[in-house]
Structure 1
């Protein structure tokens, strides 16, 4: 059975500080499953809930500063809310970021650890996603990655063109996963990745093997002996397959 998306995972120098930023940005709660890990989840979140994908912030000794292939797009419902959200995020420690976007209706910011994200202008398609409109991945071949992720997860492909692809939970709730064509995505370790998990009655090893037949490969990011598997999709974007839950 396809995997389900559990959370977005950020690497950080200070997991608690970055966790507080995102919790205050969204009005979400904070918890911790162990040392050097901060969990950011919607209030009243009961796992698993495709409408409430959480954020895990994990401290690592030396997270690299790189050009990221993945980022978050945040949703707004009006121009006034967009302006208010940008102002509030700036007060929390976000800073303006120039990624060559030019004159666009959305605002590009970086969180306190430099992770770039966008505060979108109001768009009808994102009115029911919650605060995270989409996880966006820049890639060389959006149709090919849409096929891989559409088979990897229990998500539905909603739109595919040569330059863009969009997926969402089969239940029609929560944020989207989007792939945008970019020139020459860099082969680097990402500070943000997706964590997937098998359903309770499914086997982690079998799911990992299935992903390999789809084009995934094992990735070594220095994880050592852990209970999860670190893989990379066909374009090298790392993700983790957790134990069944």
Structure 2
């Protein structure tokens, strides 16, 4: 049994990761900004016989992250998934940039994962894994424009976590970046390529096999290395 913490667990891939980890017998700590707004997660917790608990955490807020981490007690974490994210505006913003939208993306998807990692660092040890949700849009190989807040946050996350991976390698803590695929969620839309169930199952397999030799690498959900 592994101890697993998941941010952004109220819906989409985060919710499905919580479900699948609980079903295979792991202890799941589901972190969500508004537990009262996550009825499916709450129902899952109530039917889990103690395998899953829900905790409030807004990854954009320092105090909320600290309080959410403290609520878990001193449990040692085996896997930490940094999933929480926002879509941001997709259209190009060469003038009239929506800076509030931009700032929200940076706070949640770039600074947020580092806040969460820092709060949980005392609970991470050798062979613990931090899986950060990035995107194909973060890669220089992405051949489209637009999505300025999102691409800035995710590209920054990739380089940030590569630095973190170097700094934590001597402690045996594994840091990974993953593109979850184009997934049929509220963010991805119903016309996306794969289901949350397929994405989550593949990412769990990827996390299970992630080694310290691969720390800091960027992979697709299906185990292929992502060009960057």
TM-score (norm 2): 0.31
Name which structure has the greater RCO, CA cutoff 8 Å, separation 6+.
Answer: 1
TM-score (norm 1): 0.30
Structure with higher strand content: 1
Structure with higher helix content: 2
